[in-house]
Amino acid sequence: MMNIERELKVMLTKEQYDRLCGEFEWDRVICQTNHYYRCENTRLFSSIRVREIDGEFFLQVKMPVSEEGALSVKKEYEKKLESLPPVLTDKELKDLTGADFGCAVPMGALFTERRSAFMDGCEICLDRSEYLGVTDYEAELEYTGEFPKALVERFESMGIAFDKPPLGKYARFIGKAKNKY
């Protein structure tokens, strides 16, 4: 399965995160673990991960389409797995995406508590992530239709601006892993 994902992201302070927790009525709160993989052909993808939620596993590969400021557009490929694989084979990745990655090996995990709400054709996600001794906070506006102007303005009225490209979870994880090792 392949989707086109449009999302605005912004990193938050703990205080902004706490304020947003009380600002919206959250439809759900889930805990998930992203198990990240690496391979030699890094120019092809934004991230390769197996997302674990409630004992279920989903192989997800994100491939960049475009980036403009805080807006990133990616092709997202997903396939359900029976378990967490020790290695992702080139064949498995090629069957899913059509691209030659080579095999991918595990490199670590990032835990996220995600709050989500649906409003004006947009999913608002509020994340608290923990990885390699770091806790960080992020908000995402994910949409498939019209640009969520009213929601962006609501965030801006709280001093939260989608004005620069933030690092995604995978990039933050990689950056911390490189500094750690």
Range of the domain at 52: 2-180
Percent helix, strand, coil in the chain, to 5, is 25, 50, 25
**Whole-angstrom Cα distance, residue 88 to residue 85?**
7
Is pLDDT of 1 > 60? yes
Is pLDDT of 40 > 90? no
Is pLDDT of 25 > 90? yes
pLDDT single digits (tens) 42-101: 777 778 999 999 999 999 998 888 877 777 788 889 999 999 999 999 999 999 999 888
Contact 70, 164 (CB under 8 A): yes
Return the CATH number at 144: 2.40.320.10
Burial code of 27-47, b = ≥16 C-beta within 10 A, e = fewer? eeeeebbbbbbbbeeeebbbb
Element (H, E) at 14: helix 14-23
pLDDT single digits (tens) 100-149: 888 999 999 999 999 999 998 899 999 999 999 999 999 999 998 888 99
Per-residue pLDDT at 180: 62
Is pLDDT of 181 > 60? no
* Number of domains forming the structure of the chain: 1
**Whole-angstrom Cα distance, residue 148 to residue 119?**
9
